[in-house]
């Protein structure tokens, strides 16, 4: 090699490295990536067109499908044979539906999809072998937080903050045993960490998930609530691990005005004489559901001749009894001896007996003596168990820091 000229050395190098390959300068073939298939309701729609609509008043399955050329025989088959998937007789006015059609010169409706609610739907295959199945949309959960100061009412404060009405209802359930929502006043405040549910692809939430934690300041007193699961059951506890669920609800109906309080000397609005009023009057529209404030047994049901009208009396245990008066009527299945659950509807607000307007006269007895329901403090349910306390404390400490930041 030492006798070769520099030129020959370079030439040999190029040949050995493929420099003389006639294809070395050719371009490599570039392959275009195939587009990902597009799915809707679990069906590939790459070769299908979409047509949307909503169920109109006095519109039925036959009206909807036959407008798209679906035969009566197909409609009849779906009605008779697909009820286990979804009973099409139960379609609701305003609910959305979608047709998926072929892209032929004369389009054919291949699928009809009916949205049962925001997350679930029923698919009906209209061609080939007729079939039906249910599906669920993908739901994404995001954690959000909100803090409000109450200037007039909780409802107004939450609405102004853009909160869903269901969040207010959820808070009223969580604090049903510890906060009298009839007594919320300007200056009270509330902070909440909660889940919002989104349909995948949507930017607007469709509902509320779990309320993770909250802090409610009512009449100068702060009350925490933390969601915690033990024994397979989710409940709400305060910062010390005490259960917020009590033996009794704070009130036997929701969001109404107190028109008369417990008194040993009240001027009767009809008889115009001063006499004891051993209950709390909740003014509410006629027909408003009345709930039992706790588990118990109906020990009396009937008509009170002394002016109470239709009434129910429930014995909750050996100590406590409650009475519900001026009822418009009783809930179905309620009779003397009936077992009732906390929160169960037992009757409806009315103005039977001696009454100037629709209201519920609610009374609470302890060992046979009437006591003021608004001043009564009910005992707690089961607290966080000792073996779960470390996990609870770890969760609570983190959530308190988050609530204080907001």
Asked whether the beta carbons of 324 and 360 are under 8 A apart, the reply is yes
Q: What is the pLDDT of residue 155?
A: 86
DSSP 11-32: HHHHHHTTTT-TTTTPPPPPPP
Where does CATH 2.70.70.10 sit in the chain? 257-371
Q: How far is CA 370 from CA 29, 262, 321, in A?
A: 92, 9, 9
Q: What is the pLDDT of residue 269?
A: 53
pLDDT tens track of the chain, all 406 residues?
A: 445 454 444 444 444 555 445 455 555 566 767 788 999 999 999 999 999 999 999 999 999 999 999 999 999 999 999 999 999 999 999 999 999 999 998 999 999 999 999 999 999 999 888 999 999 999 999 999 999 999 988 888 998 998 888 898 899 889 888 887 777 889 999 999 999 999 998 899 999 999 999 999 998 899 999 999 998 889 999 999 999 988 888 889 875 678 676 565 444 555 455 556 678 899 889 999 999 999 999 999 999 988 889 999 999 988 899 999 999 999 999 999 999 999 999 999 999 998 888 999 999 998 889 998 888 888 778 899 999 999 999 999 999 999 988 7
Structure tokens at 359: 């209201």
Fold of 39-136: Nuclear Transport Factor 2; Chain: A, (3.10.450)
DSSP 162-198: T--HHHHHHHHHHTTTT--GGG--TT-EEEEEEEEEE
Q: Are strands 139-149 and 120-125 parallel, antiparallel or unpaired?
A: unpaired
pTM of the model: 0.65
Q: What is the pLDDT of residue 28?
A: 58
Asked whether the beta carbons of 225 and 173 are under 8 A apart, the reply is no
Backbone angles phi, psi at 174, to 5 degrees: -60, -45
Q: What is the pLDDT of residue 7?
A: 46
Report the CATH architecture of 140-237.
Answer: Roll (3.10)
Where does CATH 3.10.450.350 sit in the chain? 39-136, 140-237
Fold of 257-371: Glucose Permease (Domain IIA) (2.70.70)
Structure tokens at 297: 């047994």
């Amino acid at each position: 090699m030492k006798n070769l000229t520099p030129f020959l050395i370079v030439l040999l190098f190029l040949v050995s490295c493929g420099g003389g390959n006639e294809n070395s300068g050719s371009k490599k073939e570039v392959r275009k990536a195939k587009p990902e298939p597009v799915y809707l309701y679990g069906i590939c729609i790459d070769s299908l067109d979409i047509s949307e609509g909503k169920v109109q008043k006095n519109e039925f399955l036959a009206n909807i499908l036959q407008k798209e050329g679906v035969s009566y025989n197909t409609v009849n088959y779906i009605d008779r044979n697909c009820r286990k998937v979804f009973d099409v007789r139960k379609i609701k006015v305003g609910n959305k539906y979608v047709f998926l059609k072929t892209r032929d010169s004369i389009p054919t409706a291949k699928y009809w999809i009916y949205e049962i609610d925001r997350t679930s739907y029923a698919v009906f295959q209209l061609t080939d072998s007729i079939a039906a199945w249910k599906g669920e949309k993908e739901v994404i959960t995001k954690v959000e937080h909100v803090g409000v100061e109450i200037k007039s009412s909780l409802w107004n404060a939450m609405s102004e903050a853009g909160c869903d009405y269901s969040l207010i209802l959820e808070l009223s359930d969580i604090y049903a045993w510890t906060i009298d929502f009839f007594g919320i006043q300007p200056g009270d405040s509330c902070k909440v960490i909660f889940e919002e549910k989104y349909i995948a692809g949507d930017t607007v939430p469709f509902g509320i998930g779990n309320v993770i934690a909250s802090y409610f300041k009512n009449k100068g007193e702060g009350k925490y609530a933390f969601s915690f699961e033990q024994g397979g059951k989710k409940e709400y506890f305060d910062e010390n691990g005490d259960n917020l669920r009590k033996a009794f609800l704070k009130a036997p109906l929701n969001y109404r005005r107190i028109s008369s309080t417990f008194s040993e000397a009240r001027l009767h609005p009809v008889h115009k004489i001063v006499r004891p009023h051993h209950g709390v009057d909740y003014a509410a529209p006629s027909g408003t559901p009345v709930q039992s404030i706790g588990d118990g047994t109906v020990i009396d049901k009937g008509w009170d001749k002394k002016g109470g009208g239709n009434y129910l009396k429930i014995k909750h245990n050996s100590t406590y009894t409650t009475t519900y008066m001026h009822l418009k009527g009783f809930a179905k299945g309620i009779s003397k001896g009936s077992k009732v659950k906390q929160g169960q509807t037992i009757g409806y607000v009315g103005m039977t007996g001696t009454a100037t307007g629709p209201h519920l006269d609610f009374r609470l007895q302890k060992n046979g003596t009437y006591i003021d329901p608004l001043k009564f403090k009910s005992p707690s349910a089961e607290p966080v168990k000792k073996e779960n306390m470390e996990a609870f404390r770890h969760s609570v400490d983190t959530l308190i820091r988050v609530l204080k930041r907001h």
